[in-house]
Amino acid sequence: MNNSDIIIIGAGAAGLMAAMQLSRAGKKVTVLEANNRLGGRIHTIYNVPGADYIELGAEFIHGDLAVTLAALKEASIDYKLSEGETWHAQDGAIKKEGFFLPGWELFEERLKSLQEDMSINAFLEEQFKGDEYEDLKTSVRRFAAGYDTADPNRASAIALRKEWIEDEEGGQHRVDGGYMPLIQYMADETEKHGGTILMDNTAKEIKWAKGEVTVITAANKEYSASKCIIALPLGVLQADNDAQCSIQFVPALPNHTKALQGMGIGSVIKILFVFKEPIWKNKDVVKNMEGNNNKMAFVFSDEQVPTWWTQSPEDSPILTGWLGGPDAALYKKNTDDELLVIAKRSLAAIFNMTVESLESYLVAAKAVNWSADPHILGSYTYATVTTHAALQLLNKPVAQTLYFAGEAYFTDTVVGTVDAALASGKQVAEMINAS
Ligand SMILES: Cc1cc2nc3c(=O)[nH]c(=O)nc-3n(C[C@H](O)[C@H](O)[C@H](O)COP(=O)(O)OP(=O)(O)OC[C@H]3O[C@@H](n4cnc5c(N)ncnc54)[C@H](O)[C@@H]3O)c2cc1C
């Protein structure tokens, strides 16, 4: 039996932020991580042919987010502005267009006067009945699915209003060298202050009573402490008992389980293509660009992998593909190679070229299906109609002994982000340090 003050399950941004703060405060911390790497949904890989690094998971800082920017500053990691134009692929051509969707102003006006929460789909059906609104409804559903990776039948209309209309985001940034050095910094700080981080340790059972916790792993090892932070992805906490990383509470926490099940976790497939050169800027290769696309950041399309982005304003040969929401969940059983075939077909159609020709410019390709990753089982959370009530319960410690931390629990910042995970980990550590 291994004893510590606090066991933290999950070495993602939330778990490691909590571990760093608590070990600095003199607590004996043990972090149990199921995977053979740190970072969870932060996964920067280096030494990729044609690129210094690529982000398989989180990539952007969505605004001037205080906790993230402070953590980067402390770790002496720089970040850079990410900006550019939105383009659309339609009828065989790729054109620069504004971001706003047709009919968006009317949608905004009606959403602003919504009093009682409902799913965004129910709102659309109630407020936009005529055939003339079909395009608007399709665009809004696609935006909820694509950007928030949310199921429009479950996503809260009031939460989307807050995120899309009311919140001021500030500029978008990317972390110089990727997000991974921040993860490494928090892990190093934890170990420097006496904390232990154990990878390849899947927690399977949490036996608890007030002030006492024993965590039993898949390899039947036991770790005990007086408190435990559960910093696991919502997808894992919602999973059936037979899932590789699912976890049992003994005694059970039926109200917490019900609250977790009522929250929303999306699906996403992320594609990374590295080309010999930014082929979309070469008019001899990609011939259907209308005008100068030097500042092109996003390209939206109707293809199976519909959304693509460049590294604008950097002149980089990386192109990222994104399929989010319920459509991404349909591919849970596909292999990465099958996903790459679909992605190449989509991009070749957008660029109006053959797959063979597209392939001749590719130097590296990677597909990540986050909903199929047994350690994660999803993308990031979105608010449902019951999330608000669920968080009232989940953000309170259970008997001053069990604490939930992670991107799913912190809503004072952009939901579902690295910032939400860091802020949640920090908040839980502060709560424990003050107790
Ligand atoms: C494709 C993609 C793109 C994204 N893009 C952005 C972006 O641009 N900007 C942004 O801010 N956010 C983005 N996000 C969201 C962001 O990555 C997450 O919100 C954040 O990293 C979550 O951190 P976390 O600590 O809550 O959870 P996680 O990072 O998921 O950490 C949980 C950890 O628990 C471990 N674990 C699971 N089960 C067990 C078990 N039984 N025992 C022990 N350990 C276990 C997992 O392996 C994992 O390491 C993106 C996410 C995805 C998937």
Q: What are the chain's domains?
A: 2-42+177-263+385-434 (3.50.50.60), 84-170+268-369 (3.90.660.10)
The lowest-confidence range among 104-108, 144-148, 413-417 is 413-417
Question: Which among 203, 194, 200, 232 has a CA at the least distance from the CA of 5?
Answer: 194
Cis peptide before 251 (omega within 30 of 0): yes
pLDDT higher than threshold 80 for residue 2: no
| pLDDT mean over 159-179 | 89
Residue 57 has pLDDT above 90, yes or no: yes
Mean pLDDT of the chain: 95
* Probe target for ligand 1 pocket from 418, 422, 424, 427, with the most ligand atoms within 8 Å of CB: 418
8 A C-beta contact, residue 208 and residue 228: yes
Q: What is the pLDDT of residues 306-342, one digit of tens each?
A: 999 999 999 999 999 999 999 999 999 999 999 999 9
Q: Is the CB of 328 under 6 A from ligand 1?
A: no
Report the atom number in ligand 1 closest to the C-alpha of 246: 41
Ligand 1 center to 58 CA (angstroms): 8
pLDDT class for 103, splitting at 50, 70, 90?
Answer: confident
Residue-wise pLDDT for 188-233, tens only, equals 999 999 999 999 999 999 999 999 999 999 999 999 999 999 999 9
Q: Give whole-number Cα distances, 401 to 150, 245, 260, in Å.
A: 32, 22, 18
How far is it between the farthest Cα atoms of the chain? 69
**For residue 424, which atom of ligand 1 is closest to its CA?**
26
What is the predicted pLDDT for the residue at 58? 98
- Residue 406 Cβ inside 6 Å of ligand 1? The answer reads yes
Residue 79 pLDDT > 70, yes or no? yes
| Amino acid occupying residue 389 | A
Residue 1 pLDDT: 65
Please report the pLDDT score of residue 83 as a whole number.
93
pLDDT of residue 165: 87
Confidence at residue 104, expressed as pLDDT on a 0 to 100 scale: 86
pLDDT band of residue 111 (cuts 50, 70, 90) is very high
Confirm or reject: Cβ of 42 under 6 Å from ligand 1: yes
Strands 172-175 and 79-81: antiparallel
Helix (H, G, I), strand (E, B) or coil at 420: helix
> Ligand 1: does its nearest atom lie under 6 Å from the Cβ of 57?
yes
Residue type, 282: N
203 CA: nearest ligand 1 atom: 42
pLDDT at 411: 81
Q: Are 239 and 250 in contact (CB under 8 A)?
A: no
Report the pLDDT value the prediction gives residue 415, as an integer from 0 to 100: 84
Say what the pLDDT of residue 99 is: 63
Which tens digit of pLDDT belongs to each residue from 232-245?
999 999 999 999 99
- 67 φ, ψ (degrees, to nearest 5): -70, -45
pLDDT in tens, 19-42: 999 999 999 999 999 999 999 999
pLDDT of residue 108: 92
Give, for ligand 1, the residue of 37, 200, 380 to mutate: max count of ligand atoms closer than 8 Å to Cβ.
380
Q: Are 88 and 300 in contact (CB under 8 A)?
A: yes
pLDDT > 70? residue 396: yes
170 band by pLDDT with thresholds 50, 70 and 90? confident
Give the burial class of 303: count Cβ atoms within 10 A of its Cβ; 0-12 exposed, 13-18 middle, 19 or more buried.
buried
Q: Which of 94-98, 108-112, 344-348, 407-411 has the highest mean pLDDT?
A: 344-348
Which residue type does 188 have?
Answer: D
Smallest CA-to-CA distance from 60 within 426, 419, 435 is with: 419
> Is 39 within 8 Å of 11 (Cβ atoms)?
yes
Nearest one of 226, 236, 171, 232 to 30, comparing CA atoms: 226
pLDDT at 168 over 80: no
Residue 59 above 80 pLDDT? yes
pLDDT of residue 364: 97
Q: Is the shortest distance between the CB of 380 and ligand 1 below 6 Å?
A: yes
